[in-house]
Amino acid sequence: MKKIALTIAGSDPSGGAGLQADLKTFNALGVYGISVPSVLTSQNTGGVEGIYELPADFLSKEMDVLLQDIRPDALKTGMLYSSDSIEVIEEKIRAYSLENLVIDPVTVSSTGVMLIEEGVLDALKRLLFPLASVVTPNTYEAAVLTGIEIKDDKDIKKAAVKLKEAGPAVVIITGGHLHGKAEDLFFDGVDFMTLENERLDGEFHGTGCVFSSAITACLSLGFTPKEAFIKAKDVVWQAMKTAVSPGRGMKILN
C-alpha cells in the first residue's frame, strides 16, 4: 500500500514553495500527499504581498475531517502564522497519535517578509518541538530560535545543541544562507554529520520546503532520520539544478 504524507502549511499560488511544493515532492518520491492549508497568501515569484490565516476553529475542522478518514505515515508543518494554529496542531497530533513529525520553522520569506506573528516561535518550541522527529531550520531561523549569532560552523553546532534541548529527536540546520559551500548539519544528540554541495548561482525559492517535505516522505517510507537527511540533500540539489523560472521574480543562472 502506498505510503501517505501530510503537509500542514501555507499555500503558494506560484507553486514554488508551501504546500504546493510539498505535494510535488511527496509525489516525486512515490508518496501519496494530503494537505491542510494553514495560511493563504497572495504572492508570485516576486514575493509575498498578503497573508490570510485560516481561523483556528476551521483549521481544527480541516484536520478532524481529514484525519478521521486518512491516517498519514508522516507529517510536516510549514508556515504557521499564530500560536492558536500551533495549539490546534499539537492537540490533533496527540489526539490521533500521529508519528514522524517534521517541523520546518518558517519565519520569513526569501524576499524578507515576516510570515509569523509575535510569540509563534516560543509556542512552536514549547508545544511542537517535543513531538518532532526532525526540525529543519535554516541558519537564519536557527539564530532566531536560539539567540545565537551564527557566523561559522562552531556557531551552527552550538545552535543545534540548544535546539535539541527543546525536545526534537533530530535537528538539521541547513546552511545555504552562509557564504561558501552549501553545508547542512545533522545532530541527533550524540553525533554530528555534515553534508555539503557546491553553491549554485541564482535565486531559489522553496528549497526549505522541498528539503523538509523530502525528509517527511522518506520517514513515511521507513527511512531513518539520517538516511532521510542524505536523501533529502540530494533531492534539493537535483531540484535546484533542474529548476525552472516561470515568472519574472526568479533568477535561475545555472
Please report, as a single letter, which amino acid is at residue 154: K
The per-residue pLDDT for range 143-176, each reduced to its tens digit, is 989 999 998 889 999 999 999 999 999 999 997 5
pLDDT score at 252 = 44
Give me the helices (H) in 147-206, please: 153-164
Is 127 within 8 Å of 93 (Cβ atoms)? no
What single-letter DSSP state applies at residue 124?
I
Is 35 within 8 Å of 63 (Cβ atoms)? no
| pLDDT one digit per residue (tens) for the chain, 254 residues | 899 999 999 999 988 889 999 999 999 999 999 999 999 999 887 788 888 999 999 999 999 999 999 999 999 999 999 999 999 999 999 999 999 999 999 886 555 555 677 788 899 999 999 999 999 999 989 998 999 999 888 999 999 999 999 999 999 999 755 556 678 999 999 999 999 876 655 555 568 899 999 999 999 999 999 999 999 999 987 766 555 566 565 554 33
Is 184 within 8 Å of 195 (Cβ atoms)? yes
Distance CA 5, CA 70 (A): 10
Distance CA 41, CA 126 (A): 26
Q: Is 36 left (phi over 0), alpha (psi -120 to 50) or beta?
A: beta
Residue 65, C-alpha cell as written in the block? 475531517
Distance CA 12, CA 39 (A): 9
Given the C-alpha cell 516525486, which residue does it identify?
28
**Structural domains of the chain sorted by starting position, each given as residue range(s) with its CATH number in brackets:** 4-241 (3.40.1190.20)
Listed in sequence order, the residues at least 6 apart from 188 whose beta carbon sits closer than 8 Å to its beta carbon are 169, 170, 171, 225, 226
Phi, psi of 22 (to 5 degrees): -60, -50
Is 46 within 8 Å of 248 (Cβ atoms)? yes
